[in-house]
Structure 1
């Protein structure tokens, strides 16, 4: 599909156990006379990365899902999309296991658009069968833009510590493959000592993180570490608080490193904007400027942020028939965020038209959370929150433990990422609709 350049022979993937050459990363056999759908249950393991690279090189469409996806949702996705191959499971009804993957037993004609490369969930593990349809050009275009503004070359060694099923993690892989660079693949946490031994041993040159990552880095004293080879830090997946921006921005300046704040959406494969490293401290409240060859504008009475670029998705898929669809977006993405722009052309998000929050880089639709909980518990409740905590308000004390259990089961959230509060009465307008402004004030 053209993600690799002429320097692909020097691409290496380092794991804790071994260093793999490029030839060892295309071992999956996805041979078929038709374009098929491959479902990969993602972990940061070499066989999963190998399956992803192999799938792109054989021009099949690949659906990336988190390995810890809710089982009921996984069942429904498999039933709905009927993937021909499944990587990451050893058994599933209707499939046979062969050469490290499951193969569907029953023949089923799936029509897939020739340009469709990747399907990414719009909501991670959170209960949606809706996927973003990304083309080969979407991936290539965004990877090239990232290479340009991060100045990635074939000598880079990026730490791949984010999930491949998360668009930010996927973009690390894509951009470094296209640049002919190497990757340090790990599922270790930045809180673990072996993680830093791995980083130092293989001389990592860049590290990526969501806001939670930087909270942890600050907690463990990252700025006092001796990391002479590390020269690039990137952050996306939600707004980083001003205190941490200042700490890491000043650290980067003092240690001859570059720190980038970035904004994106899965629908844009995913990068939309960035703050150049030299402007991070004085433009920290903004999302920066558009990526190379992208264009940002503000439209309509709601001041919605609109992005134009070759990386904008083909459209959404909600069922198997949608895989045959072509480009429905024509390079234009209405982000759903409201924004303003300053005299220097730097954009600032002022709110969201729809009710989404981002937790650890995972986008969560508050209305969807409410709907699922209401369907299960049949009682008054409401959801609010910010990019560091989901808050569920209920009126029954005895339901707290059940709500917590359901949230952890459906969304795989850590206990620190959500809070259940009990109130005498959920604030409502005269028409009976929830007053979310009052609710948020109540929860503060």
Structure 2
């Protein structure tokens, strides 16, 4: 690893391959350096720190825009290129970014935004006359706290957060300049972004694709470019088991990783044995966007004896269980600065000082391996994306004008209504907005939602239903 070199400062004359896209176009790190400089010239003048918004795809141009923003010291929000337009406009109206980048989408932004077409991508510049609030100099990236829900709540990550997490990952994963990782996760998702950051730090090639791991196209790319690693969330591994991963011939594979939610012990066992038989390594990990993606990992040689564990802290991190509340607490240089819900919040400094209350309940065994035993907050993870159940309830209530209650786990979202006529409209709205598969959403009608004496919904009773 380059000493004291930030991953976004690409070296000018490096002839090693940096990016291979799904059209087989190749960029060396030297080429990437030049492209990023050109991208910086396309963005608004950098006389002050600005807020950018990138509509992300796993393609070269969004990565160039991301690196350009980091080099310019602009703060940048990363969102899904396919995010529902109403949700996107809500975020734009809330934060009023100074510039917006997209490869090929052309939403109707407010009239204060001036559009410019650059052949391979588009940029909108905010020409509003109002004085924009200042942005804290340490603020680098804003990531959504709730996947594709379009919530205006974002995690504020500093340059130190990004760099520290990338360094830790390169430290415990076998990432070298010969590593050839393929993108299996969205760029705007903290886990997916951490793969990009860590491989840029190690100066290894990235094979970029948005193709599903269930498609022939994905595996053709995998074999063509001798991919050595991939990352996945629990749903990924459920699908790979159905594809009979144990039978797949993957001679170039060196290791694979899992995070984004709890993987069932039976699947941990299955993939650990697959890894052993293939002579590769399997890493089970735990993390949160609030910690720039990674908090702990299970060393591959201990995976079969620690199938239900989230492992040990990543290098330079500390993990422990609060004696009074049983909450897992994490401390490290990758802990976020805090949250943002308005443009004004971007001026705030580091509010956490490296200490994160994870919201997960846990325990630690005699060997120093940690386990999650429950959650303190109302959120679930589906397909690796965290969904705040309270946010979903509020949105449905605002849209439909009805009372609704949501419960669930990492396998399914359950929605309860008191109006049976709206079951299908509510389900279709949820599928459209949150980009979920129909199999993981169930909407049911009840005559009356169960409540406590104080009028609050009894979610435990709903779970029993």
TM-score band w.r.t. shorter chain: over 0.9
CA drift of 1:380 comes to: 3.9
CA-to-aligned-CA distance 1:345-366 (integer Å, 9 cap, x gap): 1111111111110011111111
Residue 175 of structure 2 is aligned to residue 174 of structure 1: no
What is the match of residue 3 of structure 1? Answer: 7
Which of residues 387, 397, 404 is equivalent to 1:374? 397
Q: Distance in 2 between matches of 1:106 and 1:49?
A: 27
What is the match of residue 28 of structure 1? Answer: 39
CA drift of 1:264 comes to: 0.6
CA drift of 1:219 comes to: 1.2
Unaligned runs of 5+ in 1: none
Contact 1:5 1:180 in 2 (8 A): no
> What is the TM-score when the length of structure 2 is the normalising length?
0.91
Q: Distance in 1 between matches of 2:340 and 2:404?
A: 30
Residue 22 of structure 2 is aligned to residue 16 of structure 1: yes
CA drift of 1:7 comes to: 6.7
CA-to-aligned-CA distance 1:97-153 (integer Å, 9 cap, x gap): 233311122344341111111000111221311111100100000000001110211
What is the match of residue 127 of structure 2? Answer: 105
CA drift of 1:424 comes to: 3.6
What is the match of residue 305 of structure 1? Answer: 328
Contact 1:7 1:154 in 2 (8 A): no
Deviates more, 1:193-202 or 1:76-85: 76-85
Secondary structure (helix, strand or coil) at the match of 2:431 reads helix
Structure 1 segment 209-224 matched on structure 2, within 5 A = 209-224=232-247
CA-to-aligned-CA distance 1:283-307 (integer Å, 9 cap, x gap): 1111111100100011143211100
What is the match of residue 98 of structure 2? Answer: 84
Structure 1 segment 260-339 matched on structure 2, within 5 A = 260-339=283-362
Secondary structure (helix, strand or coil) at the match of 1:434 reads coil
CA drift of 1:5 comes to: 7.2
Contact 1:39 1:65 in 2 (8 A): yes
Contact 2:321 2:329 in 1 (8 A): yes
State the aligned residue count: 442
Secondary structure (helix, strand or coil) at the match of 1:113 reads coil
Q: Distance in 2 between matches of 1:316 and 1:430?
A: 33
Structure 2 vs 1, CA of residues 7 and 345 (structure 1 numbering), >3 Å: closer, same or farther? farther
Deviates more, 1:406-415 or 1:362-371: 406-415
Q: Distance in 2 between matches of 1:15 and 1:266?
A: 26
Contact 1:15 1:46 in 2 (8 A): yes
What is the match of residue 143 of structure 1? Answer: 166
Structure 2 vs 1, CA of residues 225 and 95 (structure 1 numbering), >3 Å: closer, same or farther? same
Q: Distance in 2 between matches of 1:6 and 1:384?
A: 45
What is the match of residue 224 of structure 2? Answer: 201
Structure 2 vs 1, CA of residues 275 and 243 (structure 1 numbering), >3 Å: closer, same or farther? same
Secondary structure (helix, strand or coil) at the match of 1:175 reads helix
Secondary structure (helix, strand or coil) at the match of 1:271 reads coil
Secondary structure (helix, strand or coil) at the match of 1:400 reads helix
Structure 1 segment 35-434 matched on structure 2, within 5 A = 35-88=49-102, 89-90=105-106, 92=109, 93-98=111-116, 99=118, 100-107=122-129, 108-434=131-457
CA drift of 1:434 comes to: 2.4
> What is the TM-score when the length of structure 1 is the normalising length?
0.95
CA drift of 1:15 comes to: 1.1
Unaligned runs of 5+ in 2: none
CA drift of 1:396 comes to: 2.8
Q: Distance in 2 between matches of 1:21 and 1:60?
A: 25
Contact 2:91 2:150 in 1 (8 A): no
Superposition RMSD on alpha carbons, in Å?
1.8
CA-to-aligned-CA distance 1:178-216 (integer Å, 9 cap, x gap): 111110100000111111010010011101001111111
Secondary structure (helix, strand or coil) at the match of 1:245 reads helix
Contact 2:54 2:77 in 1 (8 A): yes
